[in-house]
Amino acid sequence: MDKRELLIEAANSCSINEFLEEKLKRYLKELTKLEKSNLYKAVLSEVERSLITIVLKETEGNQLKTAKTLGINRNTLRTKIKEYKIRI
């Protein structure tokens, strides 16, 4: 079983909240030791970037479908793609 299949299996066996909490706990333990780490912004940015990338792959790069799936405006999506330097 590859890493993606393990993640899908883990996600299916618990709520998205439980899944994210478990994954973030390990990551955050180290970051909380740093001063002025801007943890909130860093985590939100990484989650947003990953989510956009995943949906873009699933829609085969179709920005209109991606925007609709994410519930955001296509112009907002384009701004985020540029901001996060996501390759389509």
Per residue, the 3-state secondary structure of the chain, as one string, reads CCHHHHHHHHHHHCCHHHHHHHHHHHHHHHHCCCCCCCHHHHHHHHHHHHHHHHHHHHCCCCHHHHHHHHCCCHHHHHHHHHHCCCCC
Average pLDDT over residues 7-35: 71
* The overall pTM is greater than 0.85: no
pLDDT in tens, 33-57: 666 667 788 889 989 999 999 999 9
What does the pLDDT read at residue 58? 96
Is pLDDT at 7 greater than 80 in this prediction?
Answer: no
Domains of the chain: 1-34 (no CATH), 38-88 (1.10.10.60)
What does the pLDDT read at residue 28? 76
